[in-house]
Amino acid sequence: MTRLSTRTLATLPGSIRKPAYDRYRVQTGIVHLGIGAFHRAHAAVYTDDVLAAGDLAWGIIGASLRSPDTRDALQPQNGLYAVNIRGGGGEEVRVIGAVRDVLVAPENPAALLAVMAEPGVRIVSLTVTEKGYCHNPATGELDPDHPDIRYDLVHPGAPRSAPGFIVEALARRRAAGTRPFTVLPCDNLPANGAVTKRVLVGLAALRDPELGRYLEAELACPSTMVDRIVPATTDADRDRVAGLLGVADSWPVLAEPFTQWVVEDHFPAGRPDWPGVTFVSDVEPFEFMKLRLLNGSHSTMAYLGYLSGCETIAEAVRQDGMERLVRRMMDDEITPTLPRLPGFDLPAYKDQLFARFRNPALKHRTWQIAMDGSQKLPNRLLGPARERIAQGLPIERIALGVAAWMRYATGIDEAGAPIDLRDPLAAELRSRADAAGRDPDRLVDALLGVRQMFGTDLPNESRFRDPVRTWLATLFERGAAETVRIAAAL
Ligand code: CS2
């Protein structure tokens, strides 16, 4: 089958939305680090709208920090790819032209640094997942012992980490008299702008205190809240999209119809006028709302659902008792921890979340969400747990989410089969869990000893440890599906 490309764009069915702007005239205004499916289905779509509205200064050069897969898929397609939007009411395909090129950082770090140093680049955005910030999730500070950070300190001109690339590019711009670009983190971290700035200033200061002070004074890192559910693309999805396009796309992305981007409006070097973005002076209330309600529920359903044998979130949320359990967690335990958002209809937001979770057209795998739990849980569940404990409030349902993660982290499912545990701390989790065995007391203490997740306070806090331990025992004795029913009936 012929491939999607500039040449074949004209052959697409008329009903398909595609770039109508002159792609040859688009300039590079944004470098995006970590060009995975999420960016292509989220920020790149908003930027495609900017180009379509006639502002051609904001083309994107994407970079993969690890594998060449995205470049290999998109380069023969001149950067073009399809977004397949699937909702209850049907589906839509749209071809995005905002990505001008994809670089593979490890193959040629110098090429990426050269692009980042170009004066026309005014924004460097990131979707590198929680672990890509090389910080300690429990403190939000740069982890100076992170292997990539240690490497980058020795090899600043050929770095490995996202912070390493950004700091080196900013140092080069400074030396050349070019103003800094704005750094725009688009990952699910609370206060992601502040965390990013702390990490970058921290790394710069380790290289050169003067550079650290310069970035502290000059660098803008606005916080953002990003939201769109984007399941991993499968071969069946590729076939389906090819059928709709009439040409092959090696790597289309899937998404739900819902999309949201709330951005702190602090771009000293300028920004595109992204249609549909909510620009605010303080993103924090939105971030907490989304991270704790959506992502906190996602993780809870992912672990309980996976252990109960549910492949997708749509299946998990339909499990007996799950929706009731998660609603009670949202309403009784999470919502009271959220900063107020005057005028915002929170009940409607929560109803909409359940409609999104139930979306049967999206096969969003529980296993995909279960990944990297050591990085995700601190923001999603442990933060609200801490706040509630400090106020003397119960955390029954949050504790079940944490216990389900612990049960999952044993690496063996309820049928005795191995779980493909993907986590930067997987080796440590497995060895702690193996040493503890299935005794809930020993297991809970072994895993609470992971400082990067639980800090030094939670392991010694009986109001945290006790409910987690009780749920862990129930999960072992009764299994996850039955535990969900028990918890829903509380
Ligand atoms: C999910 C998120 O994989 C996960 O951890 O919770 O990717 C989630 O789908 C997005 O944050 C939705 O915006």
* Average pLDDT of span 118-145: 94
Q: What is the pLDDT of residue 67?
A: 96
Percent of the chain with pLDDT over 90: 97
Give residue 89's pLDDT band: very low, low, confident or very high (50, 70, 90). confident
Show the ligand 1 pocket: residues with CB < 6 angstroms.
Answer: 188, 227-229, 294-295, 298, 368-369, 376
| Whether residue 267 sits in one domain with residue 191 | yes
Q: What is the pLDDT of residue 405?
A: 98
Residue 216 lies in a domain: yes
| Whether residue 291 sits in one domain with residue 255 | no
Q: What are phi and psi of 224, to 5 degrees?
A: -140, 155
Residue 139 lies in a domain: yes
Q: What is the pLDDT of residue 187?
A: 97
| Whether residue 352 sits in one domain with residue 434 | yes
* Average pLDDT of span 302-330: 98
Q: Which of 280, 304, 330 represents a domain boundary (last residue)?
A: 280
Question: Looking at the predicted structure, is the pLDDT value of residue 138 above 80?
Answer: no
Residue 2 lies in a domain: no
| Whether residue 121 sits in one domain with residue 209 | yes
Q: What is the pLDDT of residue 175?
A: 98
Nearest CA to ligand 1 atom 6: 295
| Whether residue 375 sits in one domain with residue 248 | no
| Whether residue 290 sits in one domain with residue 189 | no
CATH, residue 245 = 3.40.50.720
Q: What angle do CA 227, 245, 62 make, to 5 degrees?
A: 45
**Model confidence over 231-275: pLDDT tens digits?**
999 999 999 999 999 999 999 999 999 999 999 999 999 999 999
Mean pLDDT (the chain, rounded): 97
* Average pLDDT of span 377-388: 97
56's CB contacts (< 8 A; 6+ apart) are: 21, 22, 25, 26, 27
Helix axis angle, 109-116 to 162-176, nearest 10° = 50
Q: How far is the CA of 158 from the centre of ligand 1 (A)?
A: 31
Pocket mutation for ligand 1, best pick of 38, 256, 369, 408 (most atoms within 8 Å of C-beta): 369
Q: What is the pLDDT of residue 480?
A: 98
How far lies 179's CA from each of 121, 202, 236, 266, 282, in Å? Answer: 10, 20, 46, 15, 25
- Atom of ligand 1 at shortest range from CA of 298: 6
Q: What is the pLDDT of residue 368?
A: 98
Nearest CA to ligand 1 atom 10: 229
52: number of Cβ within 10 Å: 17
Q: How far is the CA of 48 from the centre of ligand 1 (A)?
A: 22
Question: Looking at the predicted structure, is the pLDDT value of residue 80 above 90?
Answer: yes
Give residue 378's pLDDT band: very low, low, confident or very high (50, 70, 90). very high
- Whole-prediction pTM: 0.96
| Whether residue 356 sits in one domain with residue 293 | yes
* Average pLDDT of span 280-297: 97
Q: How far is the CA of 229 from the centre of ligand 1 (A)?
A: 6
* Average pLDDT of span 391-408: 98
Instruction: Report d(CA 23, CA 101) in Å as an integer.
Output: 12
Give residue 203's pLDDT band: very low, low, confident or very high (50, 70, 90). very high
Give residue 88's pLDDT band: very low, low, confident or very high (50, 70, 90). confident
| Whether residue 231 sits in one domain with residue 309 | no
The number of folded domains in the chain is 2
Residue 1 lies in a domain: no
Nearest CA to ligand 1 atom 4: 369
- Atom of ligand 1 at shortest range from CA of 364: 9
Q: Which of 253, 280, 307 represents a domain boundary (last residue)?
A: 280
CATH, residue 393 = 1.10.1040.10
Q: What is the pLDDT of residue 444?
A: 98
- Atom of ligand 1 at shortest range from CA of 260: 13
Pocket mutation for ligand 1, best pick of 127, 224, 298 (most atoms within 8 Å of C-beta): 298
With helix as H, strand as E and coil as C, how does the chain read?
Answer: CCECCCCCHHHCCCCCECCCCCHHHCCEEEEEECCCHHHHHCHHHHHHHHHHCCCCCCEEEEEECCCCHHHHHHHHHCCCEEEEEEECCEEEEEEECCEEEEEECCCCHHHHHHHHCCCCCCEEEECCCHHHHCECCCCCCECCCCHHHHHHHHCCCCCCCHHHHHHHHHHHHHHHCCCCCEEEECCCCCCHHHHHHHHHHHHHHHHCHHHHHHHHHHCCCCCEEEECCCCCCCHHHHHHHHHHHCCECCCCEEECCCCEEEEECCCCCCCCCCCCCEEECCCHHHHHHHHHHHHHHHHHHHHHHHHCCCCEHHHHHHCCCHHHHHHHHHHHHHHHHCCCCCCCCHHHHHHHHHHHHHCCCCCCEHHHHHCCHHHHHHHHHHHHHHHHHHCCCCCHHHHHHHHHHHHHHCCECCCCCECCCCCCCHHHHHHHHHHHCCCHHHHHHHHHCCHHHHCCCHHHCHHHHHHHHHHHHHHHHHCHHHHHHHHHCC
Q: How far is the CA of 21 from the centre of ligand 1 (A)?
A: 31
Q: Which of 280, 304, 338 represents a domain boundary (last residue)?
A: 280
Q: How far is the CA of 97 from the centre of ligand 1 (A)?
A: 24
Nearest CA to ligand 1 atom 5: 369
Q: How far is the CA of 369 from the centre of ligand 1 (A)?
A: 7
Give residue 137's pLDDT band: very low, low, confident or very high (50, 70, 90). confident
| Whether residue 276 sits in one domain with residue 344 | no
Q: What is the pLDDT of residue 364?
A: 97
Residue 378 lies in a domain: yes
Question: Looking at the predicted structure, is the pLDDT value of residue 468 above 80?
Answer: yes
Percent of the chain with pLDDT over 70: 100
Domain that holds residue 299: 284-488
| Whether residue 254 sits in one domain with residue 347 | no
Q: Is 321 left (phi over 0), alpha (psi -120 to 50) or beta?
A: left
Token output for 174:
């400074």
Question: Looking at the predicted structure, is the pLDDT value of residue 392 above 80?
Answer: yes
| Whether residue 218 sits in one domain with residue 149 | yes
| Whether residue 368 sits in one domain with residue 220 | no
Q: How far is the CA of 39 from the centre of ligand 1 (A)?
A: 12
Q: How far is the CA of 255 from the centre of ligand 1 (A)?
A: 11
Give residue 140's pLDDT band: very low, low, confident or very high (50, 70, 90). confident
Residue 3 lies in a domain: no
Nearest CA to ligand 1 atom 11: 227
